[in-house]
């Protein structure tokens, strides 16, 4: 494969301005992550220490194999929800190595409201288990939750993707033969009791661990019975009498040690694709990404410069380089795995949409995973483009992408607007993983376009009714729309709502994709096939 050559001028004023801007965004990202991961009220930390409990990240550190990578998912979930009282959506999820096995880890965070589940907590856990189902990934649950946040119960319980989906996914995993282990460090209350009960293996800590459908307050309110948590659902009851739990542990360290022994017995299934090339670090410097990414969402940039700083050896075989030039397509290796890359170099025209659809079909024919690098304002609009069939051609790309049987990974590198998000494998299209960069924005259209569209609609309404055109009203509508877009299109709003699997510092993208690819190739490819293309 040809090595990509960089045309970046690192001494230019534009590069230095962009570098300072994006380096600042990366620093802000790390500050926010640090706060979400570690900053807790002293009283909550003292309460856990009093009961001899470790913090969730301390448990994680003891569980993982030393010196191995951990890909944390959605570290800033709920960062713009619930008045900030649920950092990380009150739980921790991610992919790591335990006893030599890749596993998904779900850990409750008892330092936040006793580990109570908020609606976004449930969404985050469901997403983690969806990833486990899609990638045949064993799961280790670190359980310590007071149950659902009852003030928000209507958003927790009844619908398809609410709490019941956690337990449904657990059942599906067991049916698939994908192992699950629960380590019960604290209370597993109400629906949360089913996490260890539905796991294939579980360990409970004597004195602090407990499993019950109704805790002591509920039992007293419902039946009048007064009973301690330990007598109601503690380790001795469940390992000696009920059989709900398998192994008792004297403390958390012993529980983790037993858990690691259990995982060590699990079979290691062969991957359907192994790395086929020796791993080479990119020749181009990843740190340059800060100066390549624009500091204005309306500006485009050369996506080959990004590709060259992610892929092995900065080598890239480009497909149809002179046709449909606003979509870059081609083959590369990433941590030794072959991938097909689709990257936006501008708006999607008819020829670039057709090129993308064809390239996606070729990757499916050759069982090559797909990587989408998004910076897209959408498909081109206008009379001439509709006449040429842009809607039809965009539909071809969406159809080919949707019906792909190979794993799909997406990175939101800058803008993601309109139906271009669909063709480039946005969240709705079942990609195995989707990450964003701190500069990225996502919306049905850009803020200025939305404000202009609504202002034009309002103006026509006034003209139809014969009412006087009030420029102040039009200006207010435009300003309100722009303000709403600024809040709701940001990367932090997107990740708060779990529209992605987390924000990445751009320089960490290669490593995150390496873990994601390694997990994605656990699953044999499906059967090739497409829906109907409209010719």
Residue 186 and residue 288 in one domain: no
Average pLDDT rounded to a whole number, residues 325-330: 98
How confident is residue 241, by pLDDT bands cut at 50, 70 and 90? very high
Cα→Cα distances 374→206, 345, 382, Å? 50, 9, 22
> Rounded to an integer, what distance in angstroms lies between the CA atom of residue 2 and that of residue 86?
48
Whether residues 430 and 316 fall in one domain: yes
Please report the sign of the dihedral spanned by the C-alpha atoms of residue 376, residue 378, residue 381, residue 387: positive
Predicted local confidence at residue 527, as pLDDT: 67
Domain stops at, among 197, 229, 264: 264
Query: Mean pLDDT throughout 276-302?
Result: 96
Shared domain for 512 and 472, answered yes or no, is no
pLDDT higher than threshold 70 for residue 499: yes
Q: Is residue 383 situated within a structural domain?
A: yes
Q: Where are the beta strands (DSSP E) in 335-486?
A: 337-344, 370-376, 408-417, 433-436, 441-443
* Mean pLDDT (whole number) for 428-436: 97
| 81 & 199 share domain | yes
Q: Other C-beta atoms within 10 Å of 281: how many?
A: 10
Q: What is the CATH number of the domain that holds 403?
A: 3.90.226.10
Q: 135: closest CA among 269, 261, 262, 275? A: 269
Which of 99, 101, 112 is CA-nearest to residue 57? 112
Q: Inform me whether the pLDDT recorded for 235 exceeds 90.
A: yes
The confidence score (pLDDT) of residue 282 equals 98
Q: How much is the average pLDDT of 513-522?
A: 97
Q: Which of 96, 131, 513, 136 is nearest to 333 (CA)?
A: 513
Domain contains 409: yes
Question: CA-to-CA distance for 377 and 394, rounded, in angstroms?
Answer: 13
Residues 6+ positions from 90 with CB-CB distance below 8 Å: 78, 108, 109, 112, 113, 115, 116, 117, 118, 121
Residue 106: phi and psi, rounded to 5, are -120, 120
- Tell me if 369 is assigned to some domain: yes
Q: Using an 8 Å Cβ cutoff, are 491 and 438 in contact? A: yes
Residues 34 and 89 in one domain: no
> Do 206 and 286 reside in the same domain of the chain?
no
- pLDDT, one tens digit per residue, over 184-228 is 999 999 889 999 999 999 999 999 999 999 999 889 999 999 999
For residues 328 and 318, is the Cβ–Cβ distance under 8 A? yes
How far is residue 460's CA from residue 476's CA, in Å, rounded to a whole number? 16
Handedness of CA 314, 319, 324, 327 (dihedral sign): negative
- Does 111 share its domain with 188? yes
Higher pLDDT, 146 or 329: 329
Could you tell me if residue 256 is inside a domain? yes
Are 239 and 376 found together in one domain?
Answer: no
Predicted local distance difference test score (pLDDT) of residue 488? 85
Question: pTM of the predicted model, to two decimals?
Answer: 0.94
Vertex 498: Cα angle to 492 and 502 (nearest 5): 65
Which pLDDT tens digit goes with each residue over 109-133? 999 999 999 999 999 999 999 999 9
Q: How many helices (H) and strands (E) does the chain have?
A: 20, 15
How many independent structural domains does the chain possess?
A: 3
Q: How does 333-356 read in b/e, with b if 16+ C-beta sit within 10 Å?
A: bbbbbbbbbbbbbbbbbbbbbbbb
- Residue 157: pLDDT over 80: yes
* 3 belongs to a structural domain: no
Instruction: Look at residue 188 in the predicted model and tell me its pLDDT.
Output: 95
Q: What's the mean pLDDT when you consider all of the chain?
A: 94
pLDDT(169) > 90: yes
Window from 10-14, 56-60, 288-292, 448-452 with minimum mean pLDDT: 448-452
Q: What pLDDT is recorded for position 147? A: 86
Are 392 and 533 in a shared domain? yes
Q: Which tens digit of pLDDT belongs to each residue from 251-266?
A: 999 999 999 999 999 9
Answer yes or no: do 303 and 405 share one domain: yes
pLDDT over 90 for what percent of the chain? 83
| pLDDT beyond 70 at 446 | no
The domain boundary, picked from 240, 264, 288, lies at: 264
Residue 349 lies in a domain: yes
Which structural domain, as residue segments, surrounds residue 188? 51-264
Token pair listed for 136: 């045949």
Q: What interhelical angle do 252-264 and 56-63 show, nearest 10?
A: 40
- Cα–Cα distance measured from residue 117 to residue 114, given in angstroms and rounded to the nearest whole number: 9
Tell me whether residue 102 is exposed, middle or buried, using C-beta atoms within 10 angstroms of its C-beta: 0 to 12, 13 to 18, 19 or more: buried
Domain annotation covers residue 1: no
Examine the fold and report which residue of 236, 264, 292 is the final residue of a domain before the chain moves on. 264
pLDDT digits (tens, 9 = 90+) for 84-115: 999 999 999 999 999 999 999 999 999 999 99
**Residue 39 sits in the same domain as residue 176:** no
Read off the pLDDT of residues 469-487 as tens digits, 9 standing for 90 and up: 677 777 777 777 677 777 7
Residue for token pair 């407990």: 210
Q: What's the half-sphere exposure (Cβ side, CA atoms, 13 Å) at 284? A: 25
Residue 142 predicted with pLDDT over 80: yes
pLDDT tier at 535 (50, 70, 90 boundaries)? low
Beta strands in 34-179 (DSSP E): 71-73, 91-98, 101-108, 139-145
Question: Do both 355 and 256 map to the same domain?
Answer: no
CB of 532 closer than 8 Å to CB of 400: no
In a domain, 5, yes or no: no
The whole-number average pLDDT for the span 381-398 is 95
pLDDT recorded at residue 477: 72
Q: What is the pLDDT of residue 445?
A: 66
């Amino acid at each position: 494969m040809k090595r990509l050559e960089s045309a970046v001028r690192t001494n230019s004023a534009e590069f230095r301005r962009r570098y300072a801007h994006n380096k600042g965004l990366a620093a802000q990202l790390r500050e926010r992550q640090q706060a979400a991961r570690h900053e807790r009220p002293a009283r909550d930390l003292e309460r856990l220490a009093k009961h001899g409990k470790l913090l969730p990240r301390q448990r994680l550190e003891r569980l993982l194999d030393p010196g191995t990578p951990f890909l944390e998912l959605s570290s800033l979930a709920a960062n713009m929800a619930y008045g900030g009282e649920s950092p990380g959506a009150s739980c921790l999820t991610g992919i790591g190595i335990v006893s030599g096995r890749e596993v998904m880890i779900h850990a409750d965070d008892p330092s936040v409201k006793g580990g109570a589940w908020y609606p976004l907590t449930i969404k985050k856990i469901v997403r983690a288990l969806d990833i486990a189902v899609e990638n045949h990934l064993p799961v280790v649950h670190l359980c310590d939750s007071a149950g659902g946040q009852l003030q928000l119960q209507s958003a927790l319980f009844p619908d398809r993707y609410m709490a019941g989906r956690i337990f449904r996914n657990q059942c599906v995993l067991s049916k698939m033969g994908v192992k699950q282990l629960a380590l019960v460090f604290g209370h597993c209350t109400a629906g949360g009791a089913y996490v260890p009960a539905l796991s294939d293996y579980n360990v409970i800590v004597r004195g602090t661990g407990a499993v019950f459908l109704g805790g002591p307050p509920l039992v007293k309110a419902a039946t009048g019975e007064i009973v301690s948590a330990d007598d109601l659902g503690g380790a001795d009851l469940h390992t000696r009498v009920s059989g709900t739990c398998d192994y008792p542990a004297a403390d958390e360290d012993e529980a983790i040690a037993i858990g690691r022994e259990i995982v060590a017995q699990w079979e290691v299934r062969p991957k359907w694709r192994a790395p086929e090339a020796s791993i080479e670090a990119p020749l181009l410097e990843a740190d340059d990404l800060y100066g390549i990414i624009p500091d204005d969402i309306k500006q485009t940039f050369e996506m080959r410069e990004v590709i060259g700083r992610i892929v092995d050896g900065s080598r890239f075989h480009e497909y149809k380089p002179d046709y449909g030039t606003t979509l870059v397509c081609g083959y590369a290796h990433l941590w030794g795995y072959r991938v097909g890359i689709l990257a936006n170099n501008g708006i999607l025209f008819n020829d670039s949409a057709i090129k993308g659809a064809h390239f996606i079909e070729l990757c499916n024919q050759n069982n090559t995973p797909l990587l989408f690098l998004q910076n897209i304002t959408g498909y081109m609009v206008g009379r001439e483009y509709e006449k040429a069939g842009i809607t039809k051609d965009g539909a071809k790309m969406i159809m080919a992408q949707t019906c792909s049987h190979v794993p799909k990974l997406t990175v939101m590198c800058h803008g993601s607007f309109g139906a271009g998000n669909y063709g480039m494998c946005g969240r709705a299209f079942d990609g195995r993983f989707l990450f964003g960069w701190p500069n990225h924005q996502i919306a049905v259209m850009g803020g200025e376009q939305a404000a202009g569209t609504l202002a034009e609609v309002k103006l026509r309404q006034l003209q139809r009714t014969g009412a006087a055109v009030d420029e102040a009203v039009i200006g207010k509508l435009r300003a309100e729309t722009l303000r709403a877009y600024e809040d709701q299109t940001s990367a932090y709003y997107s990740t708060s709502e779990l529209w992605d699997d987390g924000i990445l510092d751009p320089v960490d993208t290669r490593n995150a994709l390496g873990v994601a690819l390694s997990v994605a190739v656990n699953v044999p490819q499906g059967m090739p096939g497409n829906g109907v293309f409209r010719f």
